[in-house]
Amino acid sequence: MHRKLIFAFSLFASIAGSAQLKSPEDFLGYKIGTRYTPHFKMVNYFQHVAANMPSMVKLQNYGQTNEGRPLLFAIIASPENLSQIEQLRMNNIRLANLAKDRMAPQEENAPAFVWLSYNVHGNETSSTEASMLTIYELVNPAVSNTKQWLKNTVVLLDPCLNPDGRDRYVNWFTSVAGKNFNPQRVAREHREPWPGGRSNHYNFDLNRDWAWQTQVESQQRISLYNQWMPQVHVDFHEQGINEPYYFAPAAEPYHEVITNWQREFQVAIGKNHAKYFDQHGWLYFTRERFDLLYPSYGDTYPTYNGSIGMTYEQGGIGAGLGVIVEEGDTLTLVDRAQHHFTTSLSTIEIASLNAGRLVKEYRKFFNDATATGFGEHKSYVIKYEARNQERFEQLIRLLDKNGIQYAAGTGAASKGFSYFSGKEESFSAGANDLVISALQPRSAMVKVLFEPKTKLSDSATYDITAWALPYVYGLNAYATKDKLAAAGAINLRTSVTNPETTYGYVIPWNGIKTVKTVGHLLQKGILLRYAEQPFEVNGNKFERGAIIVLKTSNQKFGGDFWKMVRETTAADGVQIYAVSSGFVDKGFDFGSGMVHPMRMPKVVLVTGEGVSGNSAGEIWHFFDQQLDFPVTLINANDLARANWNEIDVLIMPDGNYRFLSNKDELEAFKSWVSKGGRVVALEGAVAQLAKADIGIKQKKTEDADKKDKSDSYEALQDYEDRERSALSGYTPGSIWKVTLDPSHPLAFGYPDYYYTLKQDDIIYEFMKEGGWNVGVIKKENSVAGFVGTALQPKLKDGMLFGSVQVGNGTVNLLVDNVMFRSFWENGKLMFCNAVFLAGE
């Protein structure tokens, strides 16, 4: 009776409020698509709808962006379902076997949850405009069919995943467009300046960050997502202006964990969309380009979490309010928004028509996950090693973010695949080791993230093909077919207590926390030293790169010096070791020439035109959010105006640097390096420097057999295979084992190997005089991921990480991206070595 009264009151409130409900056009004062809607106005409209339709809409602010804009989430349901939305949400979590209360779920009559995510790429603007049309259509009392859908479907709507990027684009476009849009492709309103609005504040692509959650927007969104776990999820995008609309079903490769039902329903959704597009005469395509493999997209991440995850792509990047496409038609924002609006409603409709089956298959997905698990491996074991403790703990935090269950080992013996050797080996899972069972609700995610090698049904894939977390984090691990017992929690360090001293401290150089605390000490003006060789003192062994803090040269701080050091390091969670003398038990004493001073560097990051926005963003975010260390961003076109005497370290991300082709600017650059400047070059910047004659040479990847095929039948190929034939010399992203020289400062803190993500065919010839080959591929050493048959034998006997002496300066070379999307955790220390140690 009580619930009926609440429902009746809600219905009365809905009828009363609907009289004041306005359409987007009436509220904004313009038709959707004829102007761009700034983020704040979109927020105002959603607030208006929620205020006037409280029985059907609940609005939630689930966080904010780096620039302080709100992240908005709308729950849209029938008055009856909204009045009991928390019970329905909890029931859905129980259906996924994720509820802590262990209560039995109610499958019968449970609604399907459909989550619509708009505008993850800021300059793919039409979907946020469409979101306003969608919410209005769902609650408009004059529209009856949507009310029918909402009887068994709850719609969860995020109108803008990337407000900072969207406003960057919208504000720029508004500032350069006239009263009427110019459809000519060459017009400046279609030429977005660097870095563009696609990315978030730190130039990150948020659609590659779902699983890794390196960005604040992703962290807040996935936390919310895991509280709802929808049956259907759609990620709305735009693509090139000449492309027709794309919708499900997706292209191959599909990951093998994707169920038959998930595949089938993609087809059902696609057919429903096609019905409406055919009625309007709108072109579309399916089963091409956009696959379901890489786990950190807005379609794959939900799919691996039991949903029907999909990407929809509307032509329109750079189109502004309207642009002439190659066929001669004018594509307008009005058109683009209508297309996304149509697929939004079509998705909800087909979900409603199949709500019972969606819930049933969703329940089966999670029951199968906990009963038998996905894949042949039933347990994954991460071995604990003290030197890797920080990355071990970082991995656990990633598992927590993704709701993956784990426990400590019991000492049980087993046999399984060794990620290090690539062979079957015996091992035991000790009390400090991490055991991740494949028999859990997130079993599909566990398999996808930990499987040693991902199976590909098609090698023509949209993104990288290898990301096994033991390689990403540089941790020793095993995958076994045994169901290993696990017991107890893994306890993370929450605080450290550092001892007092009257002489000095030693800080092991073994992770990003160490670098952060070293940076904080340097910013306070403290003189530090680092050891080039291992040493032992007071029964503790310290490896190369250990930081030594002494009173010598720090007398200016007076009696509070040691307290300041203790408090700084403890605040950063870094354990330090007290020493009472500079006389060591083994190795070189603290006054030796093998112990070097370490000073506060003035660091510059090159940005702007010609520089990869994503590559620069990874580094900017790392300094700003992880190291908390000052870095000056200078646009490449302004380097000629820079005072080189005020720069100690110049970081050159992937890019094309025009100043290296200017004789005068190149000479000024080389002069600065030779006087003691330090360069950190990544990816394409290394190739640019190679052309500038600094002592490195790119290795020619000729055919292994050097056979001339031009006169043979092998040179013949069918025209339809022109794209696929190129795959033999290609890798979209594979993992390779690199041999390191751990005695060089660039490799301090590492063993004699490193797992790199290779995304191209580039390696360099071994350097001779004046250069150090710190990281090399000596033989065909691919570990995981797709590598073309022609490329495989070429990637050997070459340098990937090195250091070149140029006069009194140093150029550190990182041919592969050790900072990739900020989730390649094991590469970050090498980058820090390049900035703080190698060439100091």
Phi, psi dihedrals of residue 252, rounded to the nearest 5°: -70, 150
Distance separating alpha carbons of residues 636 and 610, to the nearest angstrom: 8
pLDDT value at position 173?
98
**Distance spanning both ends of the chain, measured CA to CA:** 76
Give the mean pLDDT of the chain: 94
Q: Report pLDDT for 459.
A: 76
Q: What is the pLDDT of residue 704?
A: 43
Quick one: 799 exposed, middle or buried, by C-beta within 10 A (0-12, 13-18, 19+)? Answer: buried
Of 343, 367, 135, residue with least CA distance to 234: 343
**What are the beta bridge partners of residue 535?**
542
- Tokens 């691996």 appear where? 304
Report CA Rg, the chain. 29
**DSSP string covering 71-111, please?**
EEEEEE--HHHHTTHHHHHHHHHHHTT--TT-PPP--TTPP
Side-chain-facing half-sphere of 665: CA atoms under 13 Å = 13
Burial of 743 (0-12, 13-18, 19+ CB in 10 A): middle
pLDDT at 15 over 60: no
* 707 pLDDT more than 60: no
Task: Indicate whether 709 pLDDT > 90.
Answer: no
8 A C-beta contact, residue 829 and residue 474: no
The rounded distance, in Å, linking the Cα atoms of 83 and 10 is 8
Q: Centre a 10 Å sphere on the Cβ of residue 791 and count the other Cβ atoms it contains.
A: 21
Asked if residue 625 lies in contact with residue 598, where contact means CB atoms within 8 angstroms, the answer is: no
CA distance 251 to 25: 37
Residue 175: how many CB atoms within 10 A of its CB? 8
User: Residue 14: pLDDT above 80?
Assistant: no
Q: How confident is the model at residue 398 (pLDDT cuts 50, 70, 90)?
A: very high
| pLDDT at residue 483 in the model | 96
The fraction of the chain above a pLDDT of 70, given in percent, is 95
**pLDDT band at 705; cut points 50, 70, 90:** very low
Q: How confident is the model at residue 18 (pLDDT cuts 50, 70, 90)?
A: low
% helix / strand / coil in the chain, to the nearest 5?
Answer: 35, 20, 45
801 pLDDT band, cuts 50/70/90, is very high
* Surface-to-core class of residue 54, CB atoms within 10 Å of its CB (0-12 exposed, 13-18 middle, 19+ buried): middle
Residues 298, 290 contacting (CB under 8 angstroms):
no
> Nearest-CA neighbor of 629 among 742, 479, 785, 520?
520
Confidence label for 784 from pLDDT (cuts 50, 70 and 90): very high
Counting other chains too, the contacts that 431-434 makes at CB distance below 8 Å and 24 or more residues apart are 431/488, 432/384, 432/408, 433/381, 433/382, 433/383, 433/384, 433/408, 433/409, 434/381, 434/382, 434/384, 434/392, 434/395, 434/396, 434/406, 434/408, 434/409, 434/490
Residue 440 contacts residue 375 (beta carbons within 8 Å):
no
What local confidence, expressed as pLDDT, does residue 110 receive?
97
The mean per-residue pLDDT over the stretch 132-151 comes to 98
* Residue listed under structure tokens 């970050």: 828
In tens, the pLDDT along 228-239 reads 999 999 999 999
What SS3 class is residue 711? coil
Peptide bond preceding 253: is omega within 30 degrees of 0, i.e. cis? Answer: yes
pLDDT tens for 67-91 read: 999 999 999 999 999 999 999 999 9
- Quick one: DSSP state of residue 414? E
pLDDT of residue 695: 87
Report pLDDT digits (tens) over 146-197.
999 999 999 999 999 999 999 999 999 999 999 999 999 999 999 999 999 9
Q: Which two tokens stand for residue 716?
A: 């013949």
Residue 827 pLDDT more than 60?
A: yes
What's the rounded mean pLDDT across residues 484-507?
A: 89
| Token pair listed for 218 | 């992703």
**Which conformational region is residue 130 in: left (phi greater than 0), alpha (psi within -120 to 50 degrees), or beta?**
alpha
Residue 646 has which token pair?
């005020």
Long-range contacts of 673-677 (CB under 8 A, 24+ apart): 673/806, 673/807, 673/809, 673/810, 673/811, 674/806, 674/807, 674/808, 674/809, 675/807, 675/808, 675/809, 676/807, 676/808, 676/809, 677/644, 677/647, 677/648, 677/649, 677/650, 677/809
| pLDDT at residue number 703 | 46
Using the 8-state DSSP alphabet, how is residue 553 labeled? Answer: T
Confidence of residue 719 (pLDDT cuts 50, 70, 90): low
- Give the helix/strand (H/E) hosting 805: strand 798-806
Buried b (16+ CB within 10 A) or exposed e, 703-738: eeeeeeeeeeeeeeeeeeeeeeeebebbbbbbbbbb
- Of the chain, the percentage scoring pLDDT greater than 90 comes to 88
| CB contact at 8 A, 123 and 165 | yes
Q: For 631-656, how does the pLDDT look when each residue is reduced to its tens digit (9 = 90+)?
A: 999 999 999 999 999 999 999 999 99
